Amino acid sequence: MKRFFILLMTIAGGVFAGNSIIQTMAEELSRSYKVLSKEKPYPVYFMQYEIMEEHQSSIIASLGVIIDEKEERNRYLDVDVRVGSYKLDNYHEIRGAEEYDWWSSPIEVPIDDHARALKLILWAETDKKFKAAQERYIKILNERQVKVLESDTSPDFSPAPKIVYSEKIDTLAFDRELWKEKLRNLSAVFKNHPWIYGSRVSLRATSLTKYLVNTEGTRLVHSQSSYSIQIYAETMADDGMELYLSYPVFARNIKDIPDDEILRIYIDSLIQNLYALRNAPMVEPYSGPAILMNRACGVFFHEIFGHRIEGHRQKSEFEGQTFTKKLNEKIMPDFISVYDDPTLEKFNYKDLNGHYLFDDEGVKAQKAVIVDNGVLKGFLMSRSPIAGFPVSNGHGRRQYGRKVVARQGVLYIKSTKEVPFEELRTNLIEECKKQNKPYGLIFYDIAGGFTMTGREGPQTFKVIPLFVKRIYVDGRPDEVVRGVDIVGTPLLSLSKIIMTGNDYDIFNGTCGAESGWVPVSAIAPSILVSEIEVEKKSKGQERPPILPAPIAPSE
């Protein structure tokens, strides 16, 4: 992919002469801004249009046939209008009960570059946003007279340098019929396992192109595509517990998806693991030493740590603010450093889903140092400043139709106390002996989890492991177990890390929060913790199917 990068140099017309969308957006932006920036009593001081074009194509196969197929191309518009000033504007948090509308219906715009049609929509949406901005701003001015001052009095918005950049649009390129046949064949493997109640092998291809213009002169066109294969199977244990495993494969180019033989190996091992899980004993609540395998560790950090260092949470009066006042304090062992670097495209030759060039506020992606040798150094910043952090570090992200907040991109957990995995395992057993525990746990895979960051709830997290083994101190073979969730509180959990492996790996996923779904990655080594707490997972009460699975007719 050819890219050219121009900073603070050209006027929009020159670079984007061929790009009619960005031109239409820029024209309409400046036409509106000319009027609205002079509107009394509360003029507009900043405006931004962002259009996201999403082209999605998916194929799902199960038991040798296609069960679902979709192809969709849409363009969505987000209009941001700010009235007031950088210091105080209509995006300021309202501390009274603000009604949250769960329904977000994104604004669709033409996919065929029709300038007039696009202009009409830009105009109508700007008008709506401008009116809403005025109304909210008046409310905010009012509130400031009746309520106490917030603890963080940072401005509501920070200026950002003008950027002009355009790259070739990355379109989807794959042979649909060929892939349908591949998926049919791969998914047919599950036919021989009637104890698996649901299974699928799917391909999801997405290309996302973003067009952004703002009144600071920034003009951006950037584009990315991705291909992901998902292998999924589910079953039910005899006691009614629902069990599932999935295996994702991610690549920016379809050519980098592994061959069928390798995918077959993934499928076979997934079937094997699910079978072991189905027959595995239930684990009782336990607290003791454990290893979180690399990918599982990435998810663990994303959930318990990553979400708490998002900038806006340090300012909001509704948030728990676990780390806000801990700047320059030691929050985890000194052999660990954490940063979020969306500029990373690959790690160990593998593509990163969380990579991007610019965020959704027109700011260039940057590496953000969060923890340096155990000491908290910074936060993930959007253009909403917080005390001590006046500018963005390019982490303002959103899904179309949502309001931007600071989000993770590529979270990187780096250790200086690395040992080979085998040694980590030996240390786990040693630690168990020290604590007089008969066994420790290894968490191989984690489905995801959730974390409560709000001030009114407890500051806890829950992480859902998919595949866990018990490691016995007395030399008995490792044993697959099921039915546990990891629970805990972030500050305590982070201080329990003893050492790490040298086996860094990637977790590629999609993260959902208040600004919608965004692609993310986490890079982490396996970690040994002196204490982790697991509790019983809630379990279904259904029986497995009454009649045996139908088999193919003998003819």
Partner 1 sequence: MKIINTQKNKYSTFEFGPWILILSGMLYSMPLCSSLFETANNNEDILFRALQDELKRSICELQLPKQERPYYIAYRVLDLKEVEIKASGGGLIASNEERSRELFVDLRVGSYQLDNSNFICPTFTSRIIESDRIQLPLEDEYLALRRAIWLVTDGTYKKALEVLAKKIAYFQNKQVNDTIPDFIKVKPCSLFEPIVHPVFDRSDLNKKITALSAVLNRYREIKESFVRFKLKSGNQYFIDSDGAKSVRGELITGIEVRAKAQAQNGTLIDDFIEFYSQGIDDLNFVKITEAINAWAETLTLKVNTRPEEESYSGPVLFLGPAACELFFQVLGKGVSGVRNAVIESEMLERSVSKENLGLFSNRLGRRILPEFISVFDDPNLKGYNDIKTIGGFSVDEQGVKSEKVELVKDGKLINFLMCRTPTNKIRTSNGHARYWSEIYVPRYIGFVSNLIIKSQKPVKEEELIKKLKEVAREYGNEYALIITRLQPTFPRTEYEQYQRFYQMRTKSIPILSSPVNIYKVDVHSDKIELIHGLDFAQVSLGILKDIIATGDREYVYNFIYRNEYGDEFPVSIAAPAVLVEDIELVPKKEKIEKPATVPRP
Contact residues: partner 1, CB under 8 A: 28, 31-32, 35-36, 39, 62-75, 103, 105, 108-114, 116-124, 126-127, 130-131, 191, 194, 197-198, 234-236, 240, 242, 244, 540-543, 545-547, 549-553
- CA-to-CA separations, 194 to 189, 200, 547, in angstroms, rounded: 11, 14, 11
Nearest approach in angstroms of CB 222 to partner 1 is 23
Closer to partner 1 by Cβ: residue 33 or 305? 33
CA distance 128 to 540: 47
Nearer to partner 1, 78 or 505 (CB): 78
- Per DSSP, what are the bridge partners of residue 335? none
| Segment (H or E) for 366 | none
**How many residues comprise the chain?**
555
Least distance in Å: CB of 253 to partner 1? Answer: 26
Nearer to partner 1, 327 or 447 (CB): 447
**Residue 239 CB coordination number (10 Å):** 13
The CB-of-287 to partner 1 minimum distance in angstroms stands at 29
**Separation in Å, CA 48 to CA 67, 113, 214, 219:** 41, 19, 4, 10
Q: Is the Cα dihedral 136, 395, 516, 388 positive or negative?
A: negative
At closest approach, how far in Å is the CB of 44 from partner 1? Answer: 10
| Maximum CA extent, the chain | 82
Angle between the 20-36 and 115-146 helix axes, to the nearest 10 degrees? 40
Shortest CB 81 distance to partner 1, Å:
11
Q: How far is the CB of 53 from partner 1 (least distance, A)?
A: 12
Q: How far is the CB of 58 from partner 1 (least distance, A)?
A: 11
DSSP string, 304-333: HTGGGGBHHHHH-TTB--SSGGGTTSB-S-
Q: Rounded to whole angstroms, how far apart are CA atoms 25 and 34?
A: 14
Cis status of the peptide bond prior to 41, with omega within 30 of 0: yes
Query: Among residues 64 and 217, whose Cβ is nearest to partner 1?
Result: 64
* Phi, psi (degrees; rounded to nearest 5) at 98: -100, 130
Q: Which H or E run includes 30?
A: helix 20-36
Indicate the residue among 198 and 388 with the shorter CB distance to partner 1: 198
Give the Cα separation of 122 and 141 in Å (integer): 28
Compute the least distance from the CB of residue 21 to partner 1, in Å.
11
Query: Which DSSP letter does residue 272 get?
Result: H
CB of 238 to partner 1, least distance (A): 13
Both structure tokens of 323:
């780390």
Main-chain phi, psi angles of 5, to 5 degrees? -130, 120
Closer of 113 and 260 to partner 1 (Cβ)? 113
**Are 511 and 302 in contact, with CB atoms under 8 Å apart?**
yes
Per-residue b or e along 528-555, where b marks 16 or more CB atoms closer than 10 Å to that residue's CB: bbebbbbbebeeeeeeeeeeeeeeeeee
CA 161 from centroid of its chain's CA atoms:
26
**CB proximity list for 151: less than 8 A, separation 6 or greater:** 317
Smallest separation, CB 318 to partner 1 (Å): 23
Nearer to partner 1, 32 or 508 (CB): 32
Q: Which is nearer to partner 1, 193 or 377 (CB)?
A: 193
* Min CB(118)–partner 1 separation in Å: 6
Q: Which is nearer to partner 1, 37 or 489 (CB)?
A: 37
Instruction: Give the residue from 194, 197, 94, 159 showing the smallest Cα distance to 403.
Output: 94
CB of 73 to partner 1, least distance (A): 7
Q: For 272, phi and psi rounded to 5 degrees?
A: -60, -45
Closer residue to partner 1, CB minimum distance, 278 or 397: 278
Shortest Cβ distance from residue 119 to partner 1 (Å)? 4
CB closer to partner 1 out of 492 and 549: 549
Radius of gyration of the chain (CA): 25
Closest CB to partner 1 among residues 241, 522: 241
> Smaller CB distance to partner 1: residue 120 or 452?
120
Residue 425 sits at φ, ψ, to 5 deg, of -65, -45
SS3 of 354, please?
coil
Are 371 and 336 spatial neighbours (Cβ–Cβ below 8 Å)?
yes
User: Per DSSP, what are the bridge partners of residue 229?
Assistant: 203, 249
Residue 245 vs 411, nearer CB to partner 1: 245
Q: State the nearest-atom distance from the C-beta of 125 to partner 1, in Å.
A: 9
Selection from 166, 170, 171, 203 nearest residue 184 by Cα: 203
